[in-house]
């Protein structure tokens, strides 16, 4: 079993020292969904949400969220992201807004947390913008689906 990297031998939290690691190309992709009532999906697709264009605002919020990850997650390194892409699509079969975020950089540590944060913040923004119409929306299945680069190599979710 792997040991936790953010806990030292005395059980104290610490930021991992990456100064001896080499810089490599790294990327991570995460996904998640916001499930809602069919009427809420219709409001989003029709552009009838009073707060504005839900998908565009949530996309920007996700990008901003990725950039703010070290401010939100205590032991994350501040990273020099080279790319953040956030895509939101409406799935009328599931009455869901599906969110996918991919973050990239050339650096000493991975960007998994940035991709996960982008999806989370985008999902929270969809909820915030539509909560007046549907307080029962559910944010579900936020997960890492792919990562590449670094010592641990590539990961692909099933």
CA proximity to 105, closest of 20, 26, 28, 29? 26
Residues with a known catalytic role: 128
Contact by Cβ (8 Å): 7, 74: no
């Amino acid at each position: 079993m792997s040991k936790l990297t953010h806990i030292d031998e005395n059980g104290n939290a610490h930021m991992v020292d990456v100064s001896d690691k080499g810089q490599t190309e790294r990327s991570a992709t995460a996904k998640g969904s916001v499930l809602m009532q069919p009427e809420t999906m219709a409001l989003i697709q029709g552009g009838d949400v009073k707060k504005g264009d839900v998908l565009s605002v949530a996309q920007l919020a996700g990008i901003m969220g990725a950039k703010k990850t070290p401010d939100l997650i205590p032991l994350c390194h501040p990273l020099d992201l080279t790319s953040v892409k956030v895509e939101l699509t409406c799935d009328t079969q599931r009455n869901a807004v599906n969110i996918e975020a991919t973050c990239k950089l050339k650096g000493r540590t991975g960007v998994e947390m940035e991709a996960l944060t982008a999806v989370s913040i985008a999902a929270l923004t969809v909820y915030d913008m539509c909560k007046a119409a549907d307080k029962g929306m559910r944010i579900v299945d936020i997960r890492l689906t792919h990562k590449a680069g670094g010592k641990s190599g590539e990961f692909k979710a099933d």
